[in-house]
Each structure stands twice: as C-alpha cells, then as structure tokens.
Structure 1
Amino acid sequence: MAKRKIAGLRWWIIGVVMLGTVLNYLTRSSLSAAAPTLKEQLHISVEQYSYVVAAFQACYTVMQPVAGFILDSIGVKIGLAIFCVAWSLSNMLHGFAGNWQSLAFFRGLMGMAEAAVIPAGMKSVTEWFPAKERSIATGWFNIGSSIGAMLAPPLVIGCITYFNWQTAFLVTGGLGFFWVALWLFFFRTPAEHPQITEDERQYILNGQEASHKSDTTKPSIKQIVSRKEFWGIAIPKFLAEPAWQTFNFWIPLYLSTVRHMDLKSIAMFAWIPFLAADLGCIVGGYLSPLMMKYFKVSLLTSRKLVVVTGAICMLAPAMIGMVASPYTAIALFCVGTFAHQTLSGSLITMSADVFPKSMVGTVNGLTGMSGYLGATIFSLIVGVVASKIGYDPLFVCLSLFDVIGAVVVCMMIKSSSSPIIPESKTEVATA
C-alpha cells in the first residue's frame, strides 16, 4: 500500500532536524544549569570548571571536520543517528562523575559526539531546500540550539530540586533515544522519500544551483581550505563562537557568583536569553530573503548584510558590566543571544551557497572546528580572567570580535561569487 503524500514535506523534515538540535543543546546546556550545584558538591573551582568546559570544546573542535566527513561519506540519516546515540550515552555518564577530572572526561566524549549536529542539519537543508529558502530552513533548525539551552535551566534545576544532580543528566541524556527512533523512521532524501509530492520534488530540484543537482564528487579537504571563501566563513566563526559558548556555559555561574542570584531565581530567569536567541534564529532566517526582495541585492550580499546587522546588535553585551541591576544584565544578554543567532545562521548557510552539496558537511565541520577553536581558547581565558579581574572585559571582547568578523565576511566573500564547482567536474566539462 502506497504511503500518503504529505504537502510541504520539507518543513516536516526540518522540524525533525530542529527537534534533534533541541535535544543536542539540552544535553550540552545541562552542565551550565547544574554548575552552581556541581561547584558545591564536587568542590570545583571556577578555573577547574573552565577546564571541564574546554574539554568539551576541544573535543568538539577536533571532531567537527571528522563528523562532517563521515556525514558526507555515509549519509546524514545513519550518521546522525549514530552520533545521537553516542552523545545521549555520554551525557548520562555525567551522572557518575566524582570529581572535575571525570566530569571533564565524560564532557570530552560528549563533545566528540555532538560535533555532528550542525553539519548534519546544514546537509539536510542542502538536500531538502531550494537556495532561496536555505536561510529560513537554517534558522528553523538552528532555533533548536536556543530552545535546548532555554529548557535546560528549569528542567535540570527541577531534577536537582526534587531528586539530585545525577538524575538531571540521566533524564536529559535519555531523551535522545526517542528521537533516534523518529529520525530513522521518517528521514529520507527527496529522491527516496515515498511521501513527497512530485511537485515539491521538482520545486526543490529546480531551486538549487547546478552544482547541487548532480554532484557526486567526494569531499576534498585540500580543495576546500585552498579557497578564500572558506576562510571568509571560518575566520568569522572563530571570532563569533566564543560569544555563544560563553552564553551557554557561563550565564548561570555569572548570575550566581557576580549577581548573587539563588538557584530558584536562576531557574526563573536564565532561560530568557535563549528565548531571545530563538527569535534571532527566526528573524535572521527571514532577513536574507526579505533583503533580496525589497533591496534587490544578491543572495550573498543579503547574507553579509544579516551578519553586519547581528554584529552591530552584539555591541549591547559590552555594557553588561556597566549596569547595576541583574535584570538589566539579563536584558543585555538577551540582545546578545538574539544578535549572535541572527548572524550565526547566515554564516552557517553560506557554506551551502558557495560549496557543492557533496562538500557541505565537511565544510561545516571545518568552519565549526574553527569556531570551537576560538571558543576553547576563550573559555580557558574566562576561567583565569573571571576569577581575577572579573567578566566585564570579556564581554567587551566578545562584542568587538563579532564586529571584526563582519568586516572579514564583507572583505573575503564576493557578492558575485557563484557556487564552487568541484575540480573533477570542471575538467570533465572542458575535456
């Protein structure tokens, strides 16, 4: 019996991808929500906490290009399912940590597994969406990162309050297994999915660049890193990612140690910046096509304008140290998370605009590695500087980083750039 066709199936697909991103960032953000409790019960200092955070980021950094290459090689369906099982198990193992060293070890394992989520999401977008809808789809799946971070404080602190901190990690990790079953059941490529309408299949195909329609070339890291366009994405990612990782891992600890908020107040307010980040994902996704429509700019120019808009808004967190009220500080964090997700979605999407489909996972892995390298270095700096001179100079640096990154994007990504055709196809075409 033939399966019923589903109109607009691509949006259902991206919904499942978004749910996986939610669970990925829920497990990722569980540590920061539990940080005040872990500091007390495991006797962890601020500097040791920075080592735990850096362990995740370092392993994530190293694994991102590997994960992207695996996804390009074996496909996003099986690849992401394997990685999700791995990050769920490693998060549950956090509950068995007895000191900061074991916590850092389990955190490193999870970093290796979670490195696949953004390359997988972007690869799914590349397969399922025409070029003009990519930023919108990226915004919707990327919203999962904010929702996951938003859900972590109330869920984790609720588990700690009614049970213990170990239960928090078991619950947040266990949810991933339900998603894997849904993913394996529902996900296919447009060419293989039995529930896609022929009209939608043709709409997707006709809206993609020539390099995406029939591209079967194996990803070449050498070819990718030799392109100026790659560095036009990788350098801004290196500069932008420290802000998001600081928001994810340090907001609850900052509110506890600097603003002297108790655990209940943190649970009530620490999720709000990530609600603002959700709005940033959506607004950033729609800004690009709106700019193309109303300002008549090219696809890549619209992407760059979104990055510039986000970078300007990122100046707000620089003022966090100047305000007396913790609630005003939270409001400035909200502007920062909104701004970061607005520009981040555009940077992620650019890889599919200038590289062929077969390379998107690898490109995203490499640019993600660049981003997490910056985040790892910055986290280690936070651990040393925050305990000695405070957080205020660090917030100023985060704002300036994104402004510099926007300048790099504008200089290195040409608005007239067309998708890069793999060398092997160019040679065939000219033979």
Structure 2
Amino acid sequence: MSYRRGWIAVFLFALAMINYMDRIALSIAAKPIAAEFHLSPVGMGYLFSSFIWSYALFLIPMGIMIDRFGAKRMAGAGVLVWSAATALTGAANSFAALMAARLVMGAGESASNPVGAKVIRQWIPAAERGLVTSMFNSGSYAGPAICSAILGSLIALYGWRLSFVIAGGIGFVWLAAWMLFFNIPEKAGWLSAAERELILRERDSHGPSLKSAASPAGTAAPALLSLLRSRALWGIAIAQGCNVYTQYLFLAWLPSYLQASRQFSVAETGLFSAVPYASAVILCIVAGRLSDRYVKKSGVGSGRRRNAVALSMLAGAVILAVPLVTSLTLLLIVFSVTLTGIASTTSLNFTLLNDLLPDSRNVAKAMAFVVVVANLFGMVAPIATGYVVAATGTYDWAFGIAGMLLLLGVGVILCMTRMPVAAVAPSPLPRQAGPA
C-alpha cells in the first residue's frame, strides 16, 4: 500500500480511536458518577445505553447525507458535535444533564462508520480493503485501550470531570488536521497521477460475480429501500448485531465487572482493561491482512470473506468461558481472545459489505443501515446487563447471552450472504384477468 493511501488509513484509525475514547470515558468513570448521582445498576445501564438511542436515530439520515454531500464535510460536522458534547459532560450537574450530553454525543458519532466506509471505497483498491478496514476498526479498540490506561489514573488523581474535557478536546485536534489535508482522490493535490488512476480504476472493480448486479453507468444511485430487499444486506446487519451486543457489553460493563466481581480499584481496572483492547488492535489488523490474501484468488466479489467473519465470531464466543475462570491471567487471555474476535468480526463484516456492493454510490447508506440494526442489539446490551446483574447478583448470564448471540451470528453470516448487496426492484403486482 502506498504511503499516501497509508495517511488515509491513519486518519480513519484516529477517527475511530477518538470516537471510542469518548464512548468509554463514561464506563471508566462509572463508579464515581454512580456514587455522586446515587445511580443503581439499572440506572447506569440506561445511562450507558442512552447515546446509542440518538446514534441509531441519526445513522441512516447521516449515511444519505454522506453519499450526497461527501465525507469531508459530514465527518467534520460529526466530530465537532460529539467532541463538544463529550467535553461538556464534565460540567453536568444532574442525571438529566448527563443524559442530554450523551444523546448529543451519539448524534454526532453517527457520522463515523458511514464516513469510514465511504472513504475506504473512494480511496482504497479492492485488494487492500480488508487491511484498511481492519486498521479503521482497530481504532475502536485502541481508543478504549488508551482511555482505560490514562483516564483511570486521571480520575483517581483529579476526579471524573476533567477526564471528559481531555477526551473531548482530542477530537478538535483531529478535526483541524482533517479539514486542512483531506479530500477525495479526484481533488487531492498531493496524490500522484499514477496512484489517482489506480484508485479510480479499481473503485468499482469486484470481478465477474458482481458485474451483473451493478447499476448501469449514468443512472441515479438506488434508494435505500431498494437495497433493503437484498437478503445479503440483512444477513450482514443481523450478524453485526449479534457481534455488537458483546462489544457494548464490554464497553459499558467491563470496568464495573472488574470492580464488583474482582475487587479492582479504578486505576487497576483501567490498566487491566487496556491489555485485551491493545491485543485486539494488533490482531485485528493481522486478521484483515490475512482475509485479503484469502480472497485474492477468487476475488472479493465471491463473498468468501464470510468464512473469515464466521471464524472471528467463533473466537469471540470464548466469552462463554468467563464464568468458569478464576485465574486473573486466564481471564486476561479470555478477554483478549474475545475482544480480538469481535474486533475482527466488525472489520471483516464491514469489508464484506464493500465486497458485495457493486455500486460505490450506495456505500454510506448501506453501512448506515447495517450499523443501525447492529446498534439496536447494542442498545439492549447495557440495559439488559443492568437488569441481569440486579436480578442475579452476578455477571454470569450477561456473558452467556453474549456468547450465544455470537454463535447465532455464525449461522446467519454463512447462510445469508451468498449473493451481492444489489438494488432489487419490487415484484410487480399480478395482473388480474378481465371479465370473461
């Protein structure tokens, strides 16, 4: 991969990293926040989940706007909104103010995944998309790793409010660099003519299996409703939902689990949590590169990447062993394997979506739909876990539910993603016979 395209991967990695730093900041600060505002596990579950409500609500409109107005402007607007909301969380003086800040943050963050998918399709040749998508997604795990290690210590020293100001401020640094340097390949003055030609030539190159599904040149981009008739799009979305449930279980409740069940302090929780997230960053990128090599011979349009997605979900299902583990070393290994599995599933599933989409004009809206469905599962995870913990006094069933959903996702991805994600016209109504 050219170093110029490599800078695009760095931008996307940093975008996802900042996104998830802001998301997990609340989880790291959960103990002092719950104490200050007198919140039960159920109350914290609703607070953890609240940003997903607005996030899911804005995803599809955001995806449509990104396809229409471009990634540069919409990413800039999204980062501006969510970074400001994160910083202002530190000024919240009531439960209602915390909820409001999280809702605004979620609305801004709806730009992240559709922007990533759009930029990857615009900039990255098909043979490199697995690697770059995994680099983009690995930022989602680098963020929690960095945030867990640093914010835990900051909270212990200075209290929870300053941690949100710092987390939010980082986003403004990324925003300045993005607006200054990023552009589409057609307009990027720092791109060589040869590399520009390669990118544009391969933008919609998938191989014979998808050529018949592509929209004719010069026609309007299909509407989202026509894409929703695709079985493969639903398969990717449902499998991603089964995966995201576990991701949000970790994001929301891992620090609380370590403090309640393993008697960790806030600072110890941050350091322990950072290790499996950091492992996931590295191994997710390796999985993305291996998946590119796996599909190279058959072509990305074959959809063979679904097998790599299924294998990653099986690795994530190791979470089922958590209730049986007593050793902290073994627990660290289980969490590392699980997080690597769900991180790889997300990046490979997003790459599979691009593999199976013949028309690049549909990328942001299709990605937005997948993330909406996934976050319906994610929305449930923090709340359901709060009720499970309140009812049983342990986290055992919370981990069990997550593992069973991952196994369900394996079946879904293998059975439902064997055709392109192409616009499908509605079936015509049968003609009624005239009077005899």
TM-superposed CA distance for 1:290, in Å, is 2.0
Paired residue for 2:403, among 399, 419, 424?
Answer: 399
CA 1:23–1:304: 2 relative to 1, 3 Å: same
Residues 311 and 399, structure 1, Cα contact 8 Å, conserved in 2: no
Could you tell me how far apart the structure 2 residues matched to 1:394 and 1:7 are?
Answer: 44
Which region of structure 1 is more displaced relative to structure 2, 245-254 or 203-212? 203-212
Q: Could you say what the CA RMSD is over the residues aligned between the two structures, in angstroms? A: 2.1
TM-superposed CA distance for 1:21, in Å, is 1.4
Could you tell me how far apart the structure 2 residues matched to 1:298 and 1:125 are?
Answer: 15
Match of 2:128 in 1: 133
Residues 319 and 403, structure 2, Cα contact 8 Å, conserved in 1: yes
Match of 2:189 in 1: 194
Residues 28 and 266, structure 2, Cα contact 8 Å, conserved in 1: no
User: What do residues 115-174 of structure 1 show as CA deviations (whole Å, max 9, x unaligned)?
Assistant: 111110111000001112111110111111111111112222232233221111011101
Could you tell me how far apart the structure 1 residues matched to 2:4 and 2:88 are?
Answer: 36
TM-superposed CA distance for 1:386, in Å, is 1.3
Match of 1:239 in 2: 242
Q: Residue type matched to 1:8 in 2?
A: Y
Q: Residue type matched to 2:93 in 1?
A: G
Match of 2:46 in 1: 51
Query: Normalising to structure 2: TM-score of the pair?
Result: 0.90
Could you tell me how far apart the structure 2 residues matched to 1:25 and 1:8 are?
Answer: 26
Equivalences for residues 285-364 of structure 1 within 5 A: 285-293=288-296, 299-355=301-357, 356-364=359-367
Match of 1:378 in 2: 381
CA 1:285–1:374: 2 relative to 1, 3 Å: same
Query: Normalising to structure 1: TM-score of the pair?
Result: 0.91
Paired residue for 2:98, among 89, 103, 114?
Answer: 103
**Structure 1: where are the runs of 5+ without partners?**
1-5, 424-431
Equivalences for residues 147-186 of structure 1 within 5 A: 147-186=142-181
Residues 307 and 342, structure 1, Cα contact 8 Å, conserved in 2: yes
Match of 1:264 in 2: 267
CA 1:92–1:298: 2 relative to 1, 3 Å: closer
Match of 1:420 in 2: 422
Q: Residue type matched to 1:308 in 2?
A: A
TM-superposed CA distance for 1:176, in Å, is 0.8
TM-superposed CA distance for 1:215, in Å, is 7.1
Describe the SS at the equivalent of 2:304: helix
Which region of structure 1 is more displaced relative to structure 2, 244-253 or 33-42? 33-42
TM-superposed CA distance for 1:422, in Å, is 8.4
TM-superposed CA distance for 1:419, in Å, is 6.2
Could you tell me how far apart the structure 2 residues matched to 1:31 and 1:138 are?
Answer: 26
User: What do residues 62-83 of structure 1 show as CA deviations (whole Å, max 9, x unaligned)?
Assistant: 1111221121121000100000
Could you tell me how far apart the structure 2 residues matched to 1:386 and 1:86 are?
Answer: 33
Could you tell me how far apart the structure 2 residues matched to 1:213 and 1:124 are?
Answer: 22
Could you tell me how far apart the structure 2 residues matched to 1:215 and 1:379 are?
Answer: 45
User: What do residues 13-63 of structure 1 show as CA deviations (whole Å, max 9, x unaligned)?
Assistant: 121121121111111111111112212222221111001012111211111
CA 1:219–1:418: 2 relative to 1, 3 Å: closer
Residues 284 and 343, structure 1, Cα contact 8 Å, conserved in 2: no
Q: Residue type matched to 1:140 in 2?
A: M
Q: Residue type matched to 1:351 in 2?
A: L
**Structure 2: where are the runs of 5+ without partners?**
206-213, 426-436
CA 1:419–1:103: 2 relative to 1, 3 Å: closer
Could you tell me how far apart the structure 2 residues matched to 1:248 and 1:172 are?
Answer: 16
Residues 56 and 108, structure 1, Cα contact 8 Å, conserved in 2: yes
Equivalences for residues 24-63 of structure 1 within 5 A: 24-63=19-58
CA 1:335–1:204: 2 relative to 1, 3 Å: same
TM-superposed CA distance for 1:400, in Å, is 1.8
TM-superposed CA distance for 1:252, in Å, is 0.5
Could you tell me how far apart the structure 2 residues matched to 1:61 and 1:421 are?
Answer: 23
Aligned length: 415
Equivalences for residues 193-232 of structure 1 within 5 A: 193-209=188-204, 211=214, 217-218=220-221, 220-232=223-235
Could you tell me how far apart the structure 2 residues matched to 1:316 and 1:7 are?
Answer: 37
Could you tell me how far apart the structure 2 residues matched to 1:250 and 1:66 are?
Answer: 30
* Alignment partner of 1:79 is 2:74: yes
* Alignment partner of 1:250 is 2:247: no
* Alignment partner of 1:388 is 2:377: no
Could you tell me how far apart the structure 2 residues matched to 1:25 and 1:212 are?
Answer: 35
User: What do residues 324-347 of structure 1 show as CA deviations (whole Å, max 9, x unaligned)?
Assistant: 133422321111100001111111
